[in-house]
Amino acid sequence: MQFWDPRIEELPKADLRKMQYKLLKSLICRLYSFSSFYHNRMKEQKVHPDDIRELSDVQKLPFMFKQDLRDNYPNKIFTATQEELVRYHVSSGTTGKPTVVGYTQKDIDTWSNSLARGLTAIGLGRGDVIQVSYGYGLFTGGLGMHYGAERIGATVLPTSVGNTERQIELMQDLEVTAIACTPSYLLHIGEVAEKMGVDIKKDTRLKAGILGAEPWTEGMRTRMENWLGIKAFDIYGTSELSGPMFTECGEQNGFHIWSDIALVEVIDTKTGEQLEPGEKGELTLTMLQKEALPMIRYRIGDISSIEEDICPCGRTHPRVTRIQGRVDDMLIIRGINVFPSQVEYTLMSIPQVGQHFQIVVERVGALDDMLVRVELTKESFSDKITDLMQIRKNVEHRLRNALNVAVDVEIVEPGSLPRFEGKSKKVIDKRSL
Amino acid sequence: MDTKKYVIKQISIFSENRPGRLASVAHALGEENIDILAFSIAEANGFGVIRALVDHPEKAYEKLSSLDFNVAFTDVIAVQMKDHPGGLFEIAKVLGDANINIEYSYAYSGKKGAVLILRVDLVDNAIEKILSSGATLLEHSVFH
């Protein structure tokens, strides 16, 4: 069994906790002294760095939410200067403003090392050819995996998303051994390959898929493994943590959350109380080493549980089980996070359509299709079909720009969409994973 | 020239492309004792526009609006067609030569032969050209 950094990965749990405490303490001291945002937050919570005397004192610290990044757009809570940053990534915001994350060189190194450990744990290394079919650009998926794969000495094929037939040709010609993409995109690749007469199992050297950025299930894993003749591994992350960050090991039984990089808690969403290992709740992460954008008790909104027993692979770091849902109404469409509030916000600025809408998500073949139904206002009804088509095209265009994902729009009669009292159920998710 | 008497008030109704929508419109009009004299449906992907000439357009507008339909009035003209080969060509040529664009058109079989309903971009202009070509336009009093 291979390790990237066996000294850390197999460190006894007691030592890991000591290390975590030291990292947490120095992080909190640094933030209290040098960041007005974190200083004020701690004051509001009436907690001082002196109150952090053991690891469990993390519970005294205030939580952070995505809203904190939005409120401080673009970089007000960064704790590194622009000169110290080597990269930005940007994700679309829930109500117009995107969220910006920044990295120092050390942050990029930590991120790449986290992935290097994970990729090694699933059996990849020098000699492997890793096709990165996550989007490259503002999204963290492509570049994050790219740097991680280079770190272990693998050869990277940076295909990004799209042009699937070409991806399959290159997979064959360059003898790709592993692919990193969303699970639905891998299913799509499988289907396109079949149409091209390519049997991924026999005609390629593909042996592993590193799949994430959207929810999937054990059923999908079994199906893909049998169909494509690969091992399918789950990967977890989000741009606020850096990007795709934590993978499963060869056991395929939860992501190892490297204790020297992140302190993971599962909390009760309502009370904010920490839950015991094995109990299901909201994942909360504290990034212990980040320089540019430290996240303290960051509530990502994903629901899961922690396993603290030592993994059969020998790694002592806790595992987080497969993500089981969300605490909010966030949707993941082709790997992109979409909040219904983004749709609402965008529609509000288009006078031809009303404020009511309905989102219908379906899986057509392997890929997600998102349909937004909007009501045409009385004032903008035109007898000419071309005018109506233009309105629809404009709404599609505006939504696509706001959400970073292609959307179909259906114009419906005014008053025809369901009205809800209180928390509205504006999303019909027909996908069965 | 008084072109007004040739301008006919068509009602246009936005409709989703799903079963039962036309029935709802027709039922509502029937309830109000409104006679449909001519009509057509234009469809696009997922929705359509129902266009109709009725004997009481105002009443139809009110009734359909009260049922939350998206309704609008559109000005159209109606040409009494000569029932012989080349009849449509004569009318289309008159408009084409005058650089008047036909946005859409439909036909129905009137009491005295075929009637062509036209929506054009320059209504007054079209009325003058058609009349001066010798063709017959139906006045709106024929419908309502």
3-state secondary structure of B113: strand
Strands B113-120 and B71-80: antiparallel
Which residue spans of chain A are classified as CATH 3.30.300.30? Answer: 332-429
Work out the average pLDDT over A243-253.
Answer: 97
Q: Which of A281-295, A363-377, B31-45, B83-97 has the highest mean predicted lDDT (pLDDT)? A: A281-295
A383/B51 touch (CB, cutoff 8 Å), yes or no: yes
Nearest neighbour of B49 by CB, restricted to A378, A385, A410: A385
- pLDDT greater than 90 at residue A91: no
B42/A385 touch (CB, cutoff 8 Å), yes or no: yes
Write down the pLDDT at residue A79. 96
B46/A389 touch (CB, cutoff 8 Å), yes or no: no
Alpha-carbon span A158 to A168, nearest angstrom: 13
Topology of domain B6-74 in CATH is: VC0802-like (3.30.2130)
Residues in chain B, total: 144
CATH for A332-429 (3.30.70.20, 3.30.300.30, 1.10.287.4070, 3.30.465.10) = 3.30.300.30
Alpha-carbon span A219 to A210, nearest angstrom: 16
Lowest mean pLDDT among A157-166, A273-282, A358-367: A358-367
B70/A376 touch (CB, cutoff 8 Å), yes or no: yes
A416/B68 touch (CB, cutoff 8 Å), yes or no: yes
Asked if B117 contacts B91 with a C-beta cutoff of 8 angstroms, the reply is no
The single-letter DSSP state of residue A84 is G
Q: How confident is the model at residue B44 (pLDDT cuts 50, 70, 90)?
A: confident
Alpha-carbon span A285 to A22, nearest angstrom: 16
Work out the average pLDDT over B83-111.
Answer: 91
Backbone φ and ψ for A232, nearest 5 degrees, come out as: -110, 120
Write down the pLDDT at residue A93. 62
Write down the pLDDT at residue A328. 87
pLDDT digits (tens, 9 = 90+) for A50-77: 999 999 999 999 999 998 998 999 999 9
Sequence-ordered list of residues with C-beta below 8 angstroms from that of B71, at least 6 positions apart, any chain: A381, B11, B12, B13, B14, B60, B61, B64, B65
- pLDDT greater than 70 at residue A423: no
CA distance A376 to chain B (A): 8
Q: Does B42 touch chain A (CB under 8 A)?
A: yes
B70/A413 touch (CB, cutoff 8 Å), yes or no: yes
**Which residues from A are below 8 Å from B75, CB to CB?**
none
Asked if A412 contacts A376 with a C-beta cutoff of 8 angstroms, the reply is yes
B16/A388 touch (CB, cutoff 8 Å), yes or no: no
Q: Does B103 touch chain A (CB under 8 A)?
A: yes
Work out the average pLDDT over A286-310.
Answer: 96
Take residue A377 and report the two structure tokens written for it.
């206002």
**Which residues from A are below 8 Å from B47, CB to CB?**
388, 410-412
CATH number of A6-327: 3.40.50.12780
What interhelical angle do A36-44 and A13-34 show, nearest 10? 110
Asked if A288 contacts A263 with a C-beta cutoff of 8 angstroms, the reply is yes
Burial label, A63 (beta-carbon count in 10 A; 0-12, 13-18, 19+): middle
- For residues A334 and B54, the model is more confident at B54
Write down the pLDDT at residue A98. 85
- pLDDT greater than 70 at residue A394: yes
Residues in chain A, total: 433
Q: Does B51 touch chain A (CB under 8 A)?
A: yes
Write down the pLDDT at residue A314. 95
Write down the pLDDT at residue A364. 84
- pLDDT greater than 80 at residue A251: yes
- B12, closest residue in chain A (CA to CA): A383
B72/A382 touch (CB, cutoff 8 Å), yes or no: yes
pTM: 0.78
- For residues A167 and B143, the model is more confident at A167
Q: How confident is the model at residue A94 (pLDDT cuts 50, 70, 90)?
A: low
- For residues A116 and A2, the model is more confident at A116
**Which residues from A are below 8 Å from B51, CB to CB?**
383
Amino acid at A105: Q
Number of H helices, E strands in chain B: 4, 7
Strands A231-238 and A243-247: antiparallel
Percent of chain A with pLDDT over 90: 76
- Fold match, B6-74 / B75-142: yes
Cross-strand partners of A132? A180
- For residues A93 and B45, the model is more confident at B45
Work out the average pLDDT over A168-189.
Answer: 95
- Best B25, B61, B70 residue to mutate vs chain A (most A CBs within 10 Å): B70
Average pLDDT of chain B, as a whole number:
92
Distances (CA, A) of B100 to A7, A126, A132, B125: 83, 72, 57, 8
Domain ranges of chain B: 6-74, 75-142
Q: Does B44 touch chain A (CB under 8 A)?
A: yes
pLDDT digits (tens, 9 = 90+) for B50-60: 999 999 999 99
Work out the average pLDDT over A189-209.
Answer: 96
Backbone φ and ψ for B12, nearest 5 degrees, come out as: -120, 135
B16/A416 touch (CB, cutoff 8 Å), yes or no: yes
Q: Does B61 touch chain A (CB under 8 A)?
A: no
Topology of domain B75-142 in CATH is: VC0802-like (3.30.2130)
